[in-house]
């Protein structure tokens, strides 16, 4: 009995498995892997930008979010690079510079070559925050303290080799100081809690989370790690304006990708329809309400951005 | 008293309908193995897209409260804890169900849940500003000591031998280190790709509790004698109420422990049930009845894990810091509607804030009523023939562990741990301390590493981990707990050592 | 006493295995790099080894109660069930699809452990109905209500 079933099973796999994915893609619901926990900024935004996927003018099939959190995203991306089916029904969310920095640092099974980008939906710059009752009021105060007390200024961020850590490294390099970067477990929220509770003197955090914490009166935002000021925080100067040579290498770009080996027709179809899906008015309204900056980029733009980011990060991380 | 003013909003037809839907849906989701309250709330978020903010939050609030209680249903009837919060409930609850007292166990658990839950929400309503400061007081060094305090109860939890309890705990602590280390990103003990993500706690729970039970049923073989059929005894709700009220010690220890532990960000409800169970056991004169179907065990565990619901939202609502994974998901639900928790919430959207809190209060009561209503019926699950039961539990274990993150790896981990646990259980090891180690390991490690990084940059290790009132208090509690366990062990050994030696 | 009883022997083997695992993970913890990442595993495995060896010695000397052990009869009952469960989990669920494999496994296990006589047609009809009901409930709960994304089914 068992043998018979197994035999039939094998025969059927041989019959159906070979058949190419038809133009009818997608025929069934699609899953999207997010390598951070439910409730985190990436998860939250991924759920919003994919909520209209089931509409006829988008993909026509819903996208279900699957969380595979752990080790700053390494767990999810490792899974995505090595175990995910490259059939177009498994999408993944990427976070640049996180996964690129981790692949440069090594010890993971992916690099930019393991994935095919589809489209970018958001760009969340890192900001420097201090508790509301802190004596520091500008980046100059921070750097001054760090110069006087080398290695004693503690500041939190969401792990090693993620956007926050890149921002921290850039700050140390540009200001020529040594500080104590404290990676927290539990993402940006835990890093923010450490700042508010006074466990650390400052912190690098996501602009969207910091904006909310500032609204609640818990923190002061001293600088934005980006090329331009952000629409949510028009009064907060960039690090560059404050005299530190820091570009947008730490800005957290979020978007959708598929594993290498996904059929080209599927990639083309997704690359054409996904940016349109992001442009849906309901999506931007919800994203705006949550304080999450949108930044839609097409597949070609993302390929370029990945390559540029990889070059910058290789240089920045060379000394570590 | 502002909350009374907004009570009316909960009772509009649409809101109340959603509240009912959230409660009943939450009970069902909570009773489904593999669906933790966090996942259940995350699943409901898309539904709130189409609702008003207030209505959406009513749905989420009701679902949160009832999924936590719903987890007790599968814990009692199937010995599959729906979430870490329900581990302690299996210890006495499932034993009661096996003895035919399933209805009573369910009634007690719903009543205790409701009482603990209502008190927890009342704490949230009245003491929020005070509690928020207390929640922030716990830094890395304090959380480290707190985790160590948890480790000290391992030896005395649900096991006959302290050494084997500690050894089980060690196995759990070691299992927790598998995977990528969270801060350095180094790979540890990844022998198989399925372990790349570490051991998922929900999958591990299902494996450790459900699989040994399935195998035990297999080992009994094809039995024909009718002796196995369990008589499911009816139990009146009034008796259950009397029973709950006659156990004020279990109820109050459960509620207090749950409220305090629920408040602390990062530790949350995961260990509230277990710690409350252990404390109640230590303070109870009927200590030896625990684990054999004693009502105090169920009451303490369930009162604690629902009491934690209200306080666990304090850091979120006042400071916009999600203190637990579920709170993080709720934060997402608020943000989608453009509402920022924190002072903004209570100043500019008091209707949303108070209606949400009120809905949890009413949700607790509705959950209790509905739960009591179905308890008698649900308890008949114990009458299902063993052959069917074993196959059903096995199927639920596979589907449940898979559905956590759609990963076959989790299913493999679940099965391997389950088979291992079956054989270990035959030799006096026990699953509860192992799970406690699995939960506490990462908390202790991450906070120790983070604390030592801060300490090295500032005052040095000694001052950071040993200084300060809170640290000293916690260390004193750790020492007291160890001394107490050692003393109890010695005392019980003097009385029972003769009977223990056999074979 | 000359030869240890069966439960005692099993207990010695089981605690011996736990001790071997403890020594093995301690060895890995102390040899792997980077050292900072293995600080905690080293601590845990050291305690683990001490406790495991203590338990093993206690088992060897017979100073402890041994739990229930496993009789030959129980083991014979257990074996077919555990083999089918493991085939289901480690191969069939992915190979045949969750619902297909689940239904087949359920039916086999039910037939194996159901005390009703195998010779009667009624028994088999009952078993098929229970299996169908089980599969329908699982499909309704996990696929339709919770929309869990399962691997492709082989038959549909």
- Express each pLDDT in A230-260 by its tens digit: 888 899 999 999 989 888 888 999 999 999 9
Same domain, C46 and C81: no
Can you give chain A as a three-state secondary structure string? CHHHHHHHHHHHHHHHHHCCCCCCCCCCCEEEEECCCCCCHHHHHHHHHCCCCCCCCCCCCCEEEEECCCHHHHHHHHHHHHCCCCCCCEEEEEEECHHHHHHHHCCCCCCHHHEEEEEEEEEECEEEEEECCCCCCCHHHHHHHHHHCCCCCEEEECCCCCHHHHHHHHHHHHHCCCCEEEECCCHHHHHHHHHHCCCCCEEEEEHHHHHHHHHCCCEEEEEEECCCCECCECCCCECCCCCCCCCCCCCEEEEEEEECCCCHHHHHHHHHHHHHHHCCHHHHHHHHHCCCCEEEECHHHHHHHHHHHHHHHHHHHCCC
Structural domain includes residue C21:
yes
Mean of all residue pLDDT scores within chain C: 85
| CB-CB under 8 Å, A9 with C154 | yes
Give the one of B174, B398, B424 whose C-beta lies nearest to C48's C-beta.
B174
Q: What is the pLDDT of residue B139?
A: 84
* Reported confidence tier of residue B355, pLDDT bands at 50, 70, 90: confident
A12 interfacial to chain C (CB closer than 8 Å): yes
In chain B, how many domains are there?
1
The predicted structure's pLDDT at residue A14: 42
Asked if C104's CB is within 8 angstroms of A5's CB, the reply is yes
Q: Which residues contact B81 (CB under 8 A, 6 or more apart)?
A: B71, B74, B75, B87, B89, B90, B205, B206, B209
- For B137, the closest chain A residue by CA position comes to A197
Q: How many structural domains are present in chain C?
A: 2
What's the CA gap between A12 and B73, in Å, rounded?
40
* pLDDT attached to residue A2: 45
Segment B153-176 shows an average pLDDT of: 80
Say if residue B497's pLDDT is above 50.
Answer: no
Residue of B nearest to C5 (CA): B503
In this prediction, residue B499 carries a pLDDT of 41
B183–chain C nearest CA distance, Å: 8
- Which of B129, B196, B409 to probe by mutation at the A interface, max A CB count within 10 Å? B196
pLDDT at A115: 93
- The residue with tokens 């506490």 is B440
Mean pLDDT in residue range B400-406: 84
Tokens 């011996």 sit on residue:
C16
Judging contacts by C-beta atoms under 8 Å, the chain B residues touching residue C25 are 174, 189
**Predicted pLDDT of residue C3:** 55
The confidence band for A12, taking pLDDT boundaries of 50, 70 and 90, is very low
When pLDDT is cut at 50, 70 and 90, the band that residue B159 belongs to is: low
Closest to B43 in 3D by CA, of A295, A87, C61, C141: C141
Say whether pLDDT at A220 is over 90: yes
Contacts of A2 in chain C (CB under 8 A): 87, 108
Split at pLDDT 50, 70, 90, the class of B230 is low
Q: Which two tokens stand for residue B409?
A: 């790896």
Compute the nearest-CA separation of A277 from chain C (Å).
22
Yes or no, beta carbons of C155 and A12 under 8 Å apart:
yes
Please indicate whether, in this complex, the C-beta atoms of C147 and A13 are within 8 angstroms of each other: no
* Separation between Cα atoms, residue B304 and residue A253, nearest integer Å: 41
Q: Which band of pLDDT confidence, cut at 50, 70 and 90, is reported for residue A1?
A: very low
**CATH homologous superfamily for the domain A126-225:** Periplasmic binding protein-like II (3.40.190.10)
Alpha helix segments (H runs only) across B246-294: 248-263, 272-283
Please tell me the distance from the alpha carbon of residue A174 to that of residue A128, in angstroms, as a whole number.
14
B437 contacts: CB under 8 Å, gap ≥ 6: B151, B154, B168, B169, B170, B171, B172, B173, B174, B175, B176
Residue B142: C-alpha distances to residues B151, B170, B211, B440 (Å): 14, 22, 36, 14
Provide the pLDDT for residue A9: 46
CATH of domain A29-124+251-317: 3.40.190.150
pLDDT for the residue numbered A19: 41
User: In 3D, which of A119, A55, A120, A80 has the Cα closest to residue A269?
Assistant: A119
pLDDT of residue A223: 93
What is the Cα–Cα distance from A251 to A260, expressed in whole angstroms? Answer: 25
Collapsing DSSP states into helix, strand and coil, what is residue B214? helix
- The answer to whether the CB of A180 falls within 8 A of the CB of B453 is yes
Say whether residue A44 is in contact with chain B using an 8 A CB cutoff.
Answer: yes
Alpha-carbon gap, residue A73 to B333, rounded angstroms: 23
Smallest Cβ distance to A9: which of C96, C108, C149?
C96
Which token pair is B386?
């063993």
Res B268 pLDDT > 80: no
Whether residue C85 sits in one domain with residue C53: no
Confidence (pLDDT) at A320: 65
Contact predicate B316/B306, CB 8 Å: no
Q: Name the average pLDDT for chain A.
A: 85
Cβ distance A92 to A115 under 8 Å?
yes
pLDDT recorded at residue B414: 93
Reduced to 3 states (helix: H, G, I; strand: E, B; else coil), residue B395 is helix
Same fold: A29-124+251-317 with A126-225: yes
pLDDT average, residue stretch B451-461: 86
User: For chain B, how big is the Rg over CA atoms in Å?
Assistant: 22
Query: pTM, whole model, 2 decimals?
Result: 0.84
Output helix, strand, coil percentages for chain C, rounded to the nearest 5.
75, 0, 25
Q: Using an 8 Å Cβ cutoff, are C51 and B170 in contact?
A: yes
| Residue B2 exposed, middle or buried by CB count within 10 Å (0-12, 13-18, 19+) | exposed
The domain in which residue C13 lies consists of: 6-61
**In this structure, what DSSP letter does residue B287 have?**
G
Domain residue extents for chain A: 29-124+251-317, 126-225
- The phi-psi region of residue B167 (left if phi > 0; otherwise alpha if psi is between -120 and 50; otherwise beta) is alpha
Rounded to whole angstroms, the Cα distance separating B163 from C55 reads 7
Are the C-beta atoms of B437 and C141 separated by less than 8 Å?
no
Beta-carbon count within 10 A of B322 CB:
27
> Measured between CB atoms, does C26 come within 8 Å of chain B?
no
Q: Which residue has the tokens 């050692």?
A: B486
- Residues C105 and C131 both lie in one domain: yes
Which residue of chain B is at minimal alpha-carbon distance from A189? B321
User: Does residue A128 surpass a pLDDT of 90?
Assistant: yes
Q: Is residue B384's pLDDT more than 60?
A: yes
**B chain contacts of residue A189, beta-carbon cutoff 8 Å:** 321-322, 328
The answer, yes or no, to whether residue C153 has pLDDT greater than 80, is no
In this prediction, residue A121 carries a pLDDT of 92
Query: Do C88 and C140 sit in the same domain of this protein?
Result: yes
Residue C115 covered by a domain: yes
C92 or C67, greater pLDDT? C92
Which of C104, C154, C156 to mutate: most A Cβ within 10 Å?
Answer: C154
Q: Which of A279-293, B173-187, C26-40, C45-59 has the highest mean pLDDT?
A: C45-59
**How large is the average pLDDT for residues A39-56?**
84
Evaluate if residue B372 carries a pLDDT over 70.
yes
Read off the DSSP letter of residue C143: I
The secondary structure element, H or E, covering residue B500 is helix B469-500
Indicate whether B273 pLDDT > 60: yes
Packed helices B87-98 and B201-220: angle between N→C axes, nearest 10 degrees: 20
Chain C residues with at least one Cβ partner in A under 8 Å: 87, 95-96, 104, 108, 147, 149, 154-155
Which residue on chain A is closest to C148 by alpha carbon? Answer: A64
Separation CA A125–CA A114 (nearest Å): 25
Average pLDDT over residues A140-165: 90
Cα–Cα distance for residue pair B163/B440, rounded to 1 Å: 18
Looking at residue B425, its pLDDT comes to: 86
CB contact (8 A) between residue A290 and residue B140: no
Domain containing residue B40: 2-494
Minimum mean pLDDT range among A28-32, A310-314, B236-240, B328-332: B328-332
Average pLDDT over residues B367-374: 89
In this prediction, residue B160 has a pLDDT band, given cuts at 50, 70 and 90, of low
Whether residue B134 lies inside any domain: the answer is yes
Same domain? C76 vs C51: no
ipTM for the whole predicted complex goes beyond 0.90: yes
Average the pLDDT over A68-77 and give the result. Answer: 84
Q: What is the mean pLDDT of chain B?
A: 83
Q: How many CA atoms lie within 13 A of B306 on its CB side?
A: 39
The structure tokens 């994919």 sit at: A50
pLDDT of C67 > 70? The answer is no
The radius of gyration computed from the CA coordinates of chain C, to the nearest angstrom, equals 23
Q: pLDDT tens digits for B169-225?
A: 889 999 988 888 776 777 888 888 778 778 888 888 889 988 998 998 898 887 754
CB pairs under 8 A between B and C: 192
Taking CA atoms, B373 is separated from A22, A66, B86, B366, in Å, by 51, 35, 21, 11
Task: Using alpha carbons, select from B371, B329, B306 the residue that is nearest to residue B85.
Answer: B306
Terminal-to-terminal C-alpha distance of chain C: 62
Nearest Cα residue to B173 out of B419, B479, B436, B449? B436
- Alpha carbons B344 and B337: distance in angstroms, whole number: 13
Query: Distance of alpha carbon A156 from its chain centroid, rounded?
Result: 18
Q: Does C75 touch chain B (CB under 8 A)?
A: yes
Enumerate residues 6+ apart whose C-beta is below 8 A from A292.
A41, A44, A45, A48, A122, A124, A208
Inspect the interface and report whether the beta carbons of B501 and C86 lie closer than 8 Å.
no
- Say whether both C50 and C87 belong to one domain: no
Closest residue by Cα to residue B321 from A193, A208, C37: A193
Q: Minimal Cα distance from C56: which residue of B? A: B164
Which of B308, B341, B251, B273 lies closest to B135 in space, CA to CA? B308
Flag if B342 and A213 touch (Cβ within 8 Å): yes
């Amino acid at each position: 009995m068992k043998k018979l079933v197994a035999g039939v099973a094998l025969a059927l796999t041989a019959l159906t498995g070979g058949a190419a994915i038809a133009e009818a893609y997608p025929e069934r619901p699609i899953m999207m892997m997010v390598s951070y926990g439910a409730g985190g900024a990436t998860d939250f935004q991924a759920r919003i930008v994919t909520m209209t996927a089931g509409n006829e003018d988008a993909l026509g099939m819903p996208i279900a979010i699957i969380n595979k959190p752990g080790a700053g995203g390494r767990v999810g991306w490792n899974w995505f690079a090595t175990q995910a089916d490259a059939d177009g029904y498994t999408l993944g969310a990427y976070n640049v510079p996180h996964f690129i920095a981790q692949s440069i640092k090594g010890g993971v099974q992916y690099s930019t070559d393991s994935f095919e980008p589809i489209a970018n939906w958001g760009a969340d710059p890192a900001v420097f925050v201090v508790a509301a009752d802190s004596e520091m009021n500008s980046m100059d105060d921070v750097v001054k303290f760090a110069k006087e007390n080398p290695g004693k200024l503690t500041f939190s961020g969401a792990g090693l080799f993620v956007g926050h850590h890149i921002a921290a490294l850039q700050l140390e390099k540009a200001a020529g100081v040594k500080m104590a970067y404290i990676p927290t477990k539990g993402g940006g929220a835990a890093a923010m809690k450490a700042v508010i509770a006074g466990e650390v003197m400052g912190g690098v955090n996501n602009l969207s989370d910091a904006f909310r914490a500032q609204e609640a009166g818990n923190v002061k935002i001293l600088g934005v790690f980006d090329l331009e000021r952000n629409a949510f925080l028009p009064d907060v100067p960039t690090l560059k304006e404050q005299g530190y040579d820091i570009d947008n290498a730490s800005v957290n770009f979020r978007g959708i990708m598929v594993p290498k080996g996904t059929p080209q027709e599927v990639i083309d179809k997704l690359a054409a329809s996904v940016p349109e899906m992001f442009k849906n008015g309901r999506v931007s309204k919800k994203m705006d309400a949550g304080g999450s900056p949108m930044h839609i980029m097409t597949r070609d733009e993302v390929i370029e951005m990945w390559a540029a980011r990889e070059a910058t990060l290789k240089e920045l991380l060379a000394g570590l | 008293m502002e909350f009374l003013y907004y009570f009316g909003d909960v009772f509009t037809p649409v809101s109340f309908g959603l509240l009912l839907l959230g409660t009943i849906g939450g009970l069902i989701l909570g009773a489904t193995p593999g669906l933790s309250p966090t996942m259940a709330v995350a699943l409901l978020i898309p539904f709130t897209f189409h609702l008003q903010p207030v209505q959406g939050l009513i749905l989420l609030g009701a679902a949160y409260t009832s999924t936590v209680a719903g987890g007790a249903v599968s814990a009692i009837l199937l010995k599959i804890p729906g979430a870490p919060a329900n581990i302690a409930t299996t210890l006495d609850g499932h034993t009661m169900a096996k003895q035919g007292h399933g209805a009573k166990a369910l009634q007690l658990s719903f009543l205790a849940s409701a009482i603990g839950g209502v008190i927890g929400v009342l704490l949230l309503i009245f003491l929020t500003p005070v509690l928020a400061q207390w929640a922030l007081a716990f830094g890395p060094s304090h959380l480290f000591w707190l985790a160590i305090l948890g480790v000290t109860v391992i030896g005395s939890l649900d096991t006959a031998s302290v050494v084997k309890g500690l050894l089980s705990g060690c196995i759990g602590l070691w299992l927790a280190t598998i995977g990528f280390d969270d801060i350095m990103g180094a790979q540890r003990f990844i022998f198989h790709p399925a372990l790349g993500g570490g051991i998922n706690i929900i999958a591990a729970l299902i494996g450790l509790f459900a699989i040994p039970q399935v195998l035990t049923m297999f080992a009994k073989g094809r039995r024909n004698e009718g002796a196995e059929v369990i008589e499911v005894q009816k139990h009146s709700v009034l008796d259950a109420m009397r029973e709950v009220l006659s156990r004020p010690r279990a109820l109050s220890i459960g509620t207090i422990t749950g409220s305090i532990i629920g408040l602390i960000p990062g530790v949350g409800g995961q260990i509230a049930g277990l710690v409350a169970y252990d404390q109640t056991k230590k303070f109870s004169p009927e200590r030896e009845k625990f684990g054999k179907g004693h009502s105090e065990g169920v009451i303490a565990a369930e009162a604690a894990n629902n009491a934690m619901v209200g306080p666990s939202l304090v850091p979120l609502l006042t400071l916009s810091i999600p203190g637990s994974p579920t709170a993080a998901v709720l934060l997402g639900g608020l943000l989608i509607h453009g509402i920022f928790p924190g002072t903004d919430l209570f100043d500019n959207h008091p209707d949303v804030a108070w209606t949400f809190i009120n809905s949890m209060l009413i949700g607790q009561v509705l959950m209790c009523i509905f739960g009591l209503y179905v308890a008698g019926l649900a308890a008949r699950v114990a009458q299902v023939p063993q052959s069917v039961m074993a196959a059903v539990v096995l199927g639920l274990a596979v589907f449940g562990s898979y559905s956590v993150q759609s990963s076959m790896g989790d299913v493999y981990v679940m099965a391997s741990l389950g088979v291992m646990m079956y054989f270990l259980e035959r030799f006096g090891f026990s699953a509860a301390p192992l799970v406690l180690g699995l939960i506490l390991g990462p908390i202790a490690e991450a906070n120790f590493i983070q604390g030592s990084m801060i300490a090295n940059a500032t005052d040095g290790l000694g001052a950071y981990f040993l200084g300060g009132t809170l640290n000293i208090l916690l260390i004193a509690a750790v020492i007291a707990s160890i001394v107490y366990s050692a003393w109890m062990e010695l005392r019980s050994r003097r009385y029972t050592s003769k009977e223990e030696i056999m074979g | 006493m000359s030869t240890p009883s069966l439960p005692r022997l099993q207990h010695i083997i089981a605690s011996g295995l736990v001790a071997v695992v403890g020594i093995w993970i301690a060895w890995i913890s102390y040899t792997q790099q980077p050292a900072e990442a293995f600080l905690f595993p080293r601590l845990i495995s050291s305690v683990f080894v001490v406790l495991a060896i203590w338990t093993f010695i206690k088992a060897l000397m017979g100073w402890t109660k041994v739990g229930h052990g496993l009789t030959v009869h129980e083991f014979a009952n257990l074996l077919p069930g555990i083999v089918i469960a493991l085939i289901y989990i480690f191969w069939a669920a992915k190979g045949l699809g969750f619902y297909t494999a689940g239904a087949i496994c359920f039916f086999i296990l039910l037939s194996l452990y159901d005390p009703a006589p195998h010779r009667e047609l009624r028994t088999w009809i009952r078993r098929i109905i229970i299996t169908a009901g089980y599969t329908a409930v699982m499909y309704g709960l996990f696929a339709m209500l919770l929309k869990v994304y399962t691997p492709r089914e082989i038959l549909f």
